[in-house]
Amino acid sequence: MSRLVMVGLSHHAAPLDIRERFAFDDAAWRTYAPSQLATLLLSTCNRVEVYAWIEERPATAIRALQRSLAAAAGVEADELRPYLRCCSGRDALLHLVRV
């Protein structure tokens, strides 16, 4: 079954010094994006979110997106994880529409 997943951070949970590391554009993201996933980067001054339409288990895709975001920002995944919001399915879709 296909579903949407989202991994991101925002001003609600991540301090400015963390968010500043995510000041990259779509071309830079493509360098780090997981090759097995088609992704969409949503980047504003207050948030960075990556969306992917997946066929696999959400947990597997979320871990891949977390690792890729950390690599793109030059931080360790464990350092980044406390600031991330992750959701899938209906929750991811509702979040995208609200943003």
Contact by Cβ (8 Å): 68, 34: yes
What beta strand segments (E) does the chain contain? 3-10, 39-43, 47-54, 85-88
Q: Name the active-site residue from 1, 16, 27, 45.
A: 45
- Annotation marks residue 86 as catalytic: no
Which residues are catalytically annotated?
A: 45
